[in-house]
Structure 1
């Protein structure tokens, strides 16, 4: 049911405004322990630096965890809207970022996936959350897919 609703154009119009605002508020109130959207899909709060503004940006995002907490896949679906989400531009400009994952702040490096690596990740993503196929069919752009890799402690 949730997957069906999240694939609708109405959801795509409303969700980008409502879901992140609720997620940020609940995440702040619970000191990073709870993300509402993570009740449906695993989620992180991405802290990046604005590509143009240079300001810190906190963005709640669904993710697909990999390798037992060593890496995460982020999808720039923008709920099937035409443009790439702003956070993807930020990652391309400044890939060294951090995420809040289950209440823990983790330094990561983002890498845009391309070619065969992207194709393999996309296949896994469609098994993980089938509405991504609907989002991709709705837009002409190729949806950006990033892998976030945990930085090694020094």
Structure 2
């Protein structure tokens, strides 16, 4: 995935946060995180759900519907912090995983706005529940 991610990062930065292809029309951010084992700084593009609070966004650890969570999910939930690039701005965020009814409420909005996440949910049914993570400007 790194070649695809690298292309998305390049397009994102060249177009002030807008990308095309399979992510066209969806809000995308770049998540800066450090490997919890390696310590290596990484940048991962992802779709996000805006919140009513302009300081909060939600990201979903769908991993394209794979049976396991992506490494970035473990990196940020372990660290409790990260940075995001949104448009042309980069800023630190705190990290909080949503649980129970709160997670389910946000997830319902995600699948309503971005139907591809319903496909990911079907792929992971009976294997895992896709985590939803709140990122709040620090």
Q: What TM-score results when the alignment is normalised by the length of structure 1?
A: 0.79
Number of aligned positions between the proteins: 134
Q: Which has the larger displacement, 141-150 or 126-135?
A: 126-135
Please, which runs of 5 or more residues in structure 2 have no aligned partner?
Answer: none
Give yes or no for contact 2:33–2:82 (8 Å, CA) kept in 1: yes
Please, which runs of 5 or more residues in structure 1 have no aligned partner?
Answer: 1-15
Corresponding residue to 1:73 among 33, 58, 78: 58
1:90 is paired with a residue whose SS is helix
Number of the residue aligned with 2:85: 100
CA distance, structure 2, for counterparts of residue 115 and residue 82 of structure 1: 20
Give yes or no for contact 1:23–1:60 (8 Å, CA) kept in 2: yes
Measure how far apart 1:17 and its partner are: 5.2
Give yes or no for contact 1:113–1:146 (8 Å, CA) kept in 2: yes
Number of the residue aligned with 1:40: 25
Matched, 1:129 2:129: no
Number of the residue aligned with 2:48: 63
1:2-57 C-alpha deviation (Å, 9 max, x unpaired)? xxxxxxxxxxxxxx4554121122245x2x72342553210100001111111111
RMSD of aligned C-alpha atoms? 1.8
Matched, 1:143 2:130: yes
Give yes or no for contact 1:22–1:36 (8 Å, CA) kept in 2: no
1:108 is paired with a residue whose SS is strand
Give yes or no for contact 2:29–2:47 (8 Å, CA) kept in 1: yes
CA distance, structure 1, for counterparts of residue 4 and residue 86 of structure 2: 17
